[in-house]
Amino acid sequence: MSQRDINLLDLPNEILFNILKKLNNMDVLYSLLDINNQRLHIIAQDKIFTNILNFVSILSTNDNSSISNQKLNRFCFEILPQIHHNVKCLILELVSIERILLAGEYPNLTQLKIFNFNKEIMSRYFKALLDGRLKQLITFIVQIDFIYDMPSISYNMDDLPNLKCFSLICYNATGLYDNLVVSLLRRMSHLEELTLHVCILNRPTFIDGIHLHKEILIYMPRLDKLTFYINTTNEINGSIHRLCNDDIQRTFSYINHRQVISIVDYFGSYKAACHVFSLPFPFHRLQWITNNFPPIIFSSVTHLKLSDTVPFKPEFFIRIARSFPSLKYLSVSNIRSLLWSFHESSSINDHSCSIVEYSHLISLDIDFVNIDYVDQFLNETKTCLPCLTELVVQFDPLKNVTENFTRDATRRNCAKVKRLIVKNLIDFPQDVYRYFPSL
Q: Which residue has the higher pLDDT, 4 or 18?
A: 18
pLDDT band at 350 (very low <50, low <70, confident <90, very high): very low
The SS3 of residue 89 is strand
Candidates 362, 306, 359, 357; CA nearest to 329 is: 362
Q: Which CATH number fits domain 285-439: 2.40.160, 3.40.190, 3.30.310, 3.80.10?
A: 3.80.10
Dist CA 429 CA 416 (whole Å): 18
pLDDT band at 351 (very low <50, low <70, confident <90, very high): very low
Candidates 413, 401, 384; CA nearest to 345 is: 401
The SS3 of residue 227 is strand
Percent of the chain with pLDDT over 70: 85
Per-residue confidence (pLDDT) for residue 371, from 0 to 100 = 96
- Cα–Cα separations (whole angstroms), residue 192 to 137, 211, 288: 13, 19, 30
Candidates 370, 259, 254; CA nearest to 307 is: 370
The structural domains of the chain, with segments of one domain joined by +, span 285-439
For residue range 392-435, what is the model confidence (pLDDT) as tens digits?
A: 999 999 999 999 999 999 999 999 999 999 988 878 999 999 99
Instruction: Report pTM.
Output: 0.85
Per-residue confidence (pLDDT) for residue 12, from 0 to 100 = 87
Per-residue confidence (pLDDT) for residue 219, from 0 to 100 = 95
Alpha helices in 94-215 (DSSP H): 97-101, 119-130, 182-185, 209-211
Per-residue confidence (pLDDT) for residue 395, from 0 to 100 = 95
Q: What is the rounded average pLDDT for all residues in the chain? A: 86
End-to-end CA distance of the chain: 58
CB-based contact 270:215 (threshold 8 Å): no
Per-residue confidence (pLDDT) for residue 66, from 0 to 100 = 61
Per-residue confidence (pLDDT) for residue 292, from 0 to 100 = 93
